[in-house]
Amino acid sequence: MLRNARLSLHIPEPSARPGDRPDFRHLALRPAGETRRPEPESPAAEMRDLPYELVRVLDDQGQAQGPWAPLIPSETLRRGLAAMVLTRAFDDRIFRLQRQGKTSFYMRSTGEEALSVAPSLVLDTGDMCFPTYRNVGFLMARDYPLLDLVNQIFSNARDPLKGRQMPVLYSARDYGFYSVSGNLGSRIGHAVGWAMASAWSGDDKIALAYIGEGTVAEGAVHEALTFATVYHAPVILAISNNQWAISSFHGLAGGNETTFAARALAYGLPGLRVDGNDFLAVHAAVAWAAERARSNLGATLIEFVTYRTSGHSTSDDPARYRPDEEPAAFPLGDPVERLKTHMIAAGHWSEADHDALVRDCDERVRATVKEGEAVGTLGVTKPPLGSMFEDVFKTPDWRQIRQRREVEG
Amino acid sequence: MPRMNMIQAINSALDVMLSRDPKMLIFGEDVGYFGGVFRATDGLAAKYGAKRCFDAPISEGGIIATAIGMGAYGLRPVVEIQFADYILPAYDQLVSEAARLRYRSAGDFWAPITVRTPYGGGIFGGQTHSSSPEAIFAHVTGLKTVIPSTPYDAKGLLIAAIEEDDPVIFLEPKRLYQGPFDGHPERPVEPWSNHPASEVPEGHYAIPLGTANVVRAGRAVTVLAYGTMVHVAQAAAAETGIDAEVIDLRTLVPLDIDTVTASVKKTGRCVIVHEASRFGGYGAELSALVQEECFYHLQAPIERVTGWDTPYPHAFEWDYFPGPARVGKALRRCVEAET
């Protein structure tokens, strides 16, 4: 047996730091169309190769390739593209507003729009998404009122969440969008329980939960995967592997040793590793997992390989911990550009259409922000002070009643 | 009327709610086929089927997380955490999620879950099977915390807890499961059947949360207690002959502040008893409230009789447990104090 004279502790480092050349060789990419597509009803034991593959549909020319290429009506593609463009326009605008001091905080999902938008179009209205703070695209694809988002971000007098949450921690039950919290991994178990409840009730609804790759390190994820496995919960558990958790690279969650999709293998679940910037691949993978779930075949774990183009939030400067060139060097490209190229190649779209869409989204966002500013930016208007004491319980107890009286004078 | 011990009364409450509410279900470690290590769910899986009462993985965090998700869906889950000592892996779910879901979503989602868990010492459980964690739940805004002291109350309070649309921590004093233990371990176990509160109706009844019970009327001193300590306090009053008014709080949140202050204003003296450690315990909150609400009526310093500020030691269980002798001493000090 080989023995070292002394042990040494391995502390993983990312492939590139500021000043280094970006290096994405660890992604082990393969051409679009190569990964096989088992029938959705196949046993998990017969697809243990998939977590190490990469489901890709769109090639570099925007052509759909291989068995995962979905049949999507061109109207759905247009909706998807519009929601992604709107998400990006919204993110950019609100980011600037935060810099102008009009709100406290913001988080963009730039570069990751496809993995929120495509599943939103796959799921039914009765299904429930358990999002993170980087999935606003899910709401954009369902025509959630932009003004409600703006009012939430301003915590103003018309904030649907009554000024209780930091910006972007939305809740929209009627749109199948569960309450977001800043705690990581704390709702993935709710998604599993919600899905168990649907099965328990004999309904046909399914759940979709998102976490980031950094959150895979949380114990709650193991708990949720265990329950999902044990009870065959009709849930899709999606990991957005955007390479970075604030300044922590994916290797700090174990990403250097294996893929995140491969976590599925230990549970006996199907695991898919999917090009998260490929709208068609995301759509196909989620539709496949949804079909399994609705057929009572239980949960699927999906790793979306993507890249967090912006910083974690308005509070960090990514130039301090990764090369400035890294976003542009990400080999899976940009989800908006890739879908646009595909639609143009397929004859559904044109550069002129796209320019008009971008202008229209910018204008809608600009006009809505103006409306929100008229209601009030952060601190300018607020929900009624007394409402602070509501919803602690269904009905307040003497503490909230007395304290409300004290505050209201 | 049938006589029940506390386990039978809890089992009866669960039985009643399973038959009344088709959206109510039970899960937890060993609660299904086997019926739970303390037998609280005995026979329920056989009677209602595994769908209504089933086993969960050994994963307290997972149990509470999935229960919250089920509650958000519209079901009414009642889960068991086998010992309160093991609830801490689920603490994040209870504090960050169950307690705040309604508030943070402005009423969009809520978690109508009941978490049953046995707590407290007196069974030679050492530091892993004896703790009393009520204060760490009572402190959390958005949770309700309930502790019964008799079979009758256990059933009525548990039914009320299950019917609540807010999350409820239901702490069961495990030393009281079989009898009204008064803090004298050297004596033979007294069964519940001799106690009037073992008369438990078969059907549905609820005791509203937030209503304390004056279990012994008195004029000399008010004793605030809950769970096992209600019986210890009554024993201490009987053994000292002090005319104590013993109040069983029954729910720590919401607290029946009016009953507490009315009694202390009448007696002018207050002794607070709990089994948990003293520092930062629920008694500290009670003491602060009594001081704030009743200061000009007080004729003596407020006394606290509690477990020591150590973990619960196996060999020194009865030295740790605040028995009738320690409570009696505090009663005497309190009634003899001159202002």
Do B52 and B144 have their domain in common? Answer: yes
Point out the residue among B56, B104, B166 whose CB comes nearest to the CB of A165. Answer: B104
CB contacts of A391 in chain B (<8 Å) are 102-103, 106-107
Instruction: Show which of residues 267-326 on chain B sit within 8 Å of chain A, judged by CB atoms.
Output: none
CB contacts of A223 in chain B (<8 Å) are 57, 59, 61-62, 65
CB contacts of A172 in chain B (<8 Å) are 108
- With tokens 């290590």, the residue in question is B37
Q: What is the pLDDT of residues A222-250, one digit of tens each?
A: 999 999 999 999 999 999 999 999 999 99
Point out the residue among B56, B93, B142 whose CB comes nearest to the CB of A392. Answer: B142
**Averaged pLDDT score across all residues of chain B:** 97
CB contact under 8 A, B97 and A198: no
CA distances from A56 to A76, B37, B69 (A): 19, 51, 33
Structure tokens at A188: 């993935």
Return the H-helix or E-strand segment holding A147: helix A146-154
Point out the residues of B that are catalytic.
Answer: 60, 129
Write the CATH number for B323: 3.40.50.920
Identify whether B11 is part of a domain.
yes
In whole angstroms, what is the distance from residue A156 CA to residue A163 CA? 7
In whole angstroms, what is the distance from residue B71 CA to residue B93 CA? 13
Q: Give just the sign of the alpha carbon dihedral B80, B84, B89, B93.
A: positive
Q: Which residues of A380-392 are buried (b: 16+ CB within 10 A; e: fewer)?
A: ebbbeeeebbbbb
Q: Which CATH class is domain A25-378?
A: alpha beta
In whole angstroms, what is the distance from residue B318 CA to residue B187 CA? 13
Structure tokens at A400: 């909230």
pLDDT value, residue A2: 65
* Count of structural domains within chain B: 2
A3: pLDDT strictly greater than 80: no
Across the range B254-259, mean pLDDT stands at 98
Identify whether B1 is part of a domain.
no
Do B264 and B152 have their domain in common? Answer: no
**Owning domain of residue B173:** 6-198
B338: pLDDT strictly greater than 90: no
Q: What is the pLDDT of residues A86-103, one digit of tens each?
A: 999 999 999 999 999 999
A5: pLDDT strictly greater than 90: no
A171: closest chain B residue by CA? B105
Q: In A156-305, which ranges are E strands?
A: 207-212, 235-241, 244-245, 248-249, 271-275, 300-305
Do B26 and B152 have their domain in common? Answer: yes
Across the range A289-312, mean pLDDT stands at 98
A275: pLDDT strictly greater than 80: yes
CB contacts of A139 in chain B (<8 Å) are none
In whole angstroms, what is the distance from residue B266 CA to residue B298 CA? 9
Three-state secondary structure string covering chain B:
CCECCHHHHHHHHHHHHHHHCCCEEEEECCCCCCCCCCCCCCCHHHHHCCCCEEECCCCHHHHHHHHHHHHHHCCEEEEECCCHHHCHHHHHHHHHHHCCHHHHCCCCCCCCCEEEEEECCCCCCHHHCCCCCHHHHHCCCCCEEECCCCHHHHHHHHHHHHHCCCCEEEEEEHHHCCCCCCCCCCCCCCCHHHCHHHECCCCCCCCCCCCCEEEECCCCEEEEECCHHHHHHHHHHHHHCCCEEEEECCEEECCCHHHHHHHHHHHCCEEEEEEEECCCCHHHHHHHHHHHHHHHHCCCCCEEEEECCCCCCCCCHHHHCCCHHHHHHHHHHHHHCCC
A18: pLDDT strictly greater than 70: yes
Instruction: Say how many C-beta atoms besides its own lie within 10 A of residue B140's C-beta.
Output: 20
CB contacts of A207 in chain B (<8 Å) are 69
A221: closest chain B residue by CA? B62
Q: Domain residues of chain A, as ranges?
A: 25-378
pLDDT value, residue B339: 67
Instruction: Show which of residues 15-74 on chain B sit within 8 Å of chain A, judged by CB atoms.
Output: 25, 51, 56-57, 59, 61-62, 64-74
B95: closest chain A residue by CA? A186
Give the confidence band of A76 by pLDDT, cuts at 50, 70, 90: very high
Q: What is the pLDDT of residues A19-55, one digit of tens each?
A: 999 999 999 898 999 999 999 999 999 999 999 999 9
Identify whether B176 is part of a domain.
yes
Give the confidence band of A220 by pLDDT, cuts at 50, 70, 90: very high
Do B240 and B324 have their domain in common? Answer: yes
CB contacts of A178 in chain B (<8 Å) are 72, 109
CB contact under 8 A, A173 and B257: no
CB contacts of A398 in chain B (<8 Å) are 254-255, 257
> Rounded to a whole number, what is the distance in Å from the CA of A220 to chain B's nearest CA?
7
Do B104 and B221 have their domain in common? Answer: no
Do B230 and B322 have their domain in common? Answer: yes
In whole angstroms, what is the distance from residue A30 CA to residue A281 CA? 14
CB contact under 8 A, B104 and A171: yes
Q: What is the dihedral of CA B330, B335, B338, B339, to 10 degrees?
A: 90
Structure tokens at B79: 């889960």
pLDDT value, residue A32: 97
pLDDT value, residue B137: 98
Do B101 and B164 have their domain in common? Answer: yes
- With tokens 């393969």, the residue in question is A30
- Beta pairing class for A300-305 and A271-275: parallel
In whole angstroms, what is the distance from residue A73 CA to residue A295 CA? 24
CB contact under 8 A, A393 and B142: yes
DSSP A145: -
Residue pairs spanning A and B at CB distance below 8 A: 140
CB contact under 8 A, B96 and A186: yes
Residues 6 or more apart whose CB falls under 8 angstroms from that of B272 comprise B223, B224, B225, B283, B286, B287, B290, B302, B303, B304, B305, B306
**Last residue within a domain, chosen from B198, B223, B254:** B198
CB contact under 8 A, B103 and A219: no
Identify whether B120 is part of a domain.
yes
Closest CA to A198 of B111, B69, B55: B69
CB contacts of B257 in chain A (<8 Å) are 398
Do B271 and B175 have their domain in common? Answer: no
Do B29 and B169 have their domain in common? Answer: yes
Residue-by-residue DSSP string for A292-358: HHHTT---EEEEEE----S-SSTT--GGGTS-TTHHHH-TT--HHHHHHHHHHHTTS--HHHHHHHH
pLDDT value, residue A118: 98
A209: closest chain B residue by CA? B69
Give the confidence band of A256 by pLDDT, cuts at 50, 70, 90: very high
pLDDT value, residue B155: 98
In whole angstroms, what is the distance from residue B98 CA to residue B103 CA? 10
CA angle B46, B50, B55 (to 5 degrees): 110
> Rounded to a whole number, what is the distance in Å from the CA of B225 to chain A's nearest CA?
20
Do B51 and B132 have their domain in common? Answer: yes
A186: pLDDT strictly greater than 90: yes
CB contact under 8 A, A186 and B67: no
Residue B194 sits at the chain A interface (C-beta within 8 Å) = no
Counting residues of chain A whose pLDDT is more than 90, the rounded percentage is 98
Point out the residue among B57, B97, B144 whose CB comes nearest to the CB of A186. Answer: B97
Do B95 and B132 have their domain in common? Answer: yes
- Here the ipTM equals 0.97
Do B147 and B60 have their domain in common? Answer: yes
Cβ atoms of B142 and B166 within 8 Å: the answer is: yes
Write the CATH number for B11: 3.40.50.970
Identify whether B242 is part of a domain.
yes
Q: Give just the sign of the alpha carbon dihedral A11, A16, A18, A19.
A: positive
pLDDT value, residue A214: 98
Structure tokens at A120: 């939103």
CB contact under 8 A, B97 and A393: no
> Rounded to a whole number, what is the distance in Å from the CA of B227 to chain A's nearest CA?
22
Q: What is the pLDDT of residues B32-78, one digit of tens each?
A: 999 999 999 999 999 999 999 999 999 999 999 999 999 999 999 99
> Rounded to a whole number, what is the distance in Å from the CA of A382 to chain B's nearest CA?
15
pLDDT value, residue B98: 98
